[in-house]
Structure 1
């Protein structure tokens, strides 16, 4: 880590990130000693502790919000969060999400001189909104499983799952308006509402891409900024807002979150194609089997290369996308440069996220979370 002449942070990981994310750490030039190494255990431990602490901090608020719903929506929500089985019987140690977004909200607040207590309701609101999107995504993508269990729509049907998602969105706004510091409640609610609109637009574009033969790189990046970046940007901005930060700092945190959202999406796209199913918990090549226009695919299809043209014949053909065809598609994407371009763009976004943080920010927690996002394997 170093400070540039413009007062911005610099994190010399662009080339290191590309090589590491590509799985070739042995070819990565040695970074300065002051730079966190891609697999620095202390940084990863710090980040994972933040995820655990954030989950513990927001869970009572989430449970109280869900309890305010009438039956059966409260039971559907409890099942989705991993707290109970379909009959409502409590489950100890149920599988839940990463809690990345609430962790970012709290980390942004503390980076701006605030406390976790000031931002905890905003963090819970962001998690509720995130889960609204997950429930709806499962319906739109017809995903049968989440965290190793049947998704809500598979258990209760698409209509009930859609209604649950709507309820979680409403709860997010209610939790935020009830718990955010009074001086910033109005702006906080407006920011969350606007992020919801942007998120929905991004999701619409993502779905629309599936019916198109070709998507440009710029179109994909705009979609990702909405679908994934908007909520991470909002999460960080809300943390700063709840800490009483000025407009400059709130804006910087928002930019950090948007860029980190792009890192998250690009790494996610790469993991879906080249990740280990035993680690990810997802079927191999699920995006390819569904012919999704993920970033590596977009890069390959627009590469004007032999492998890219062969990929287009597979992707746009009428034959079913069998596991064998999906595996061949993955090889073609790599041959066409899709993997390398994806990882390079993720590294650039990581640099942009870090550079957005003013040098006078106590951003170690945010940096640790950014490290975890960039170098995760699931």
Structure 2
């Protein structure tokens, strides 16, 4: 029998995330399943058109460039519009783009240039969706529930995006490119339908009729006014630059009989799913670890995890060892991510959350297309494993920011 929330013990009430959260959780799962399989299908299809590291890495650039171009605008939209409606529209746009791509492939008109166009469009929709999704969560759960809610969202996102999605993407490509892209379009439609079941209005209250430019400036000022948030944004930006550089060319290291690892498409997907297995574990442990060992130490662990994640393939082509490094790195990185995202949501007013999230991601995610280009350039000039080694050292250099991210500093910015 379901117990009414009003009859729960006060500690239990704090643990109830609510029906609307779980609908969002379900929608997020479907959306990320499509996203995770798409990120694997895209480079696998690309290598049928080209073997150039620069051109393959360029797809990651096209997919992530919208974060650099449109993040601030997406944030302003998230603070002016109903955030659920934005998420619905973004998923619809992604589904339509893939349906168009399937139709073009049916006409035998596919090309690497077309993949670039679709990647840019998908990335633009993702910019809007992700900004709105991170901003809507504090409207669904209590402030003290954010770490737990983010942990649960990370768990389903990582399970579908990185654990189920990659091998599914490899399997779908093996079955046929049209089936692969068509299935992803269907997943985004299901995610869209789930979002329609989330009742309520999620348009933030506005106290002024400021212009979009003024709104964006306000979000940037808020981010810049917090030394800890500035440091975390820089931390995330450098971290993502390094991981993007590595992952943009990793498919060339891992897939095909001539590659160092010699994996099949399906094997590549399975290898990437190992990252998700570690990440899911990290997401489920994040709340517990935050209480037991503190946020600062978890951020330190994230740095070490990043070094292991990127550095292992620099040293070996063994699938077993690379998989082990991916598992350890995934767990540590995600625990740090949960802590950072939850802190940002706690200290940012709801009416500013979209803009602050987007300003943060402009710095934190805007480096991803730069990293993708850098990875392609370095791989072309130096080779794949030297590129991985350089990026591992870049992540290791983040220890220089740790004096700014102590537990007292993190506590102080939350209280302020």
TM-score, L = length of structure 1: 0.26
- Between 1 and 2, higher relative CO (CA 8 Å, sep ≥ 6) is seen in 2
